[in-house]
A and B are shown apart, each in its own frame.
Chain A
């Protein structure tokens, strides 16, 4: 039972354009959502997050949108750069569930072409 789903295994975007990565979840108890970025042979690194009481959070080129009614969140990267090429994981947690453990999606591999 996959509680967090990223249905697109890969995404290819031209440099300078917008990248949109999507994530769906099933558990309405999740109260915090995070995006992690992972390069090969490295551990995931935190990118951006959003609390369930908000619907948008921005940090530079990265914006996360949350639609609670649709149980959907998305990560927008504008403009995309070749250095953004990596695997992006969506994660969700509930502070009431096992101390806030992270539940990850399957990941989306983003390729930004020059």
Chain B
């Protein structure tokens, strides 16, 4: 099925370790983004991209890096994991660099940092 694929679904990291959360979409969407969901906080935007080679920061970018070398992929890197990064991470994509609607979300990656 076409959509947004996130891997892995679950991950446990030790403090200070690094890892990359993968996100891929096969809908030829220009816009891709990463959100984190925490209890009582809703979903907060980490980073987003309006096309290959273009990325920008969202509301909570500290501790995370992104790159967009292809239209399909938008990986999220944690360089040195901290317990505060324990969360559920969602990748979302949308057709059109500038738009209000049409977001498709992945099923999420649950990350625990111990």
Cβ-neighbour of B101 out of A9, A34, A107 (below 8 A): A34
The answer to the question of A31 belonging to the interface, with a C-beta cut-off of 8 Å to chain B, is: yes
The residue that A89 contacts in the complex, of B42, B98, B99, with Cβ under 8 A, is: B42
Whether the pair B48, A99 counts as a contact (CB closer than 8 A) is yes
Contact of B33 with A by CB under 8 A: yes
Q: Are B33 and A101 in contact (CB under 8 A)?
A: yes
Mark A residues whose CB is within 8 Å of B. Answer: 4, 6, 9, 31-32, 34, 41-46, 49, 89, 93-95, 98-107
Provide 21 A-B residue pairs closer than 8 Å at the C-beta atoms, listed in order of the A residue. A32-B100, A41-B107, A42-B108, A43-B92, A43-B108, A44-B43, A44-B105, A46-B101, A89-B43, A95-B98, A98-B56, A99-B31, A99-B50, A99-B99, A100-B98, A100-B99, A102-B45, A104-B42, A104-B43, A106-B41, A107-B42
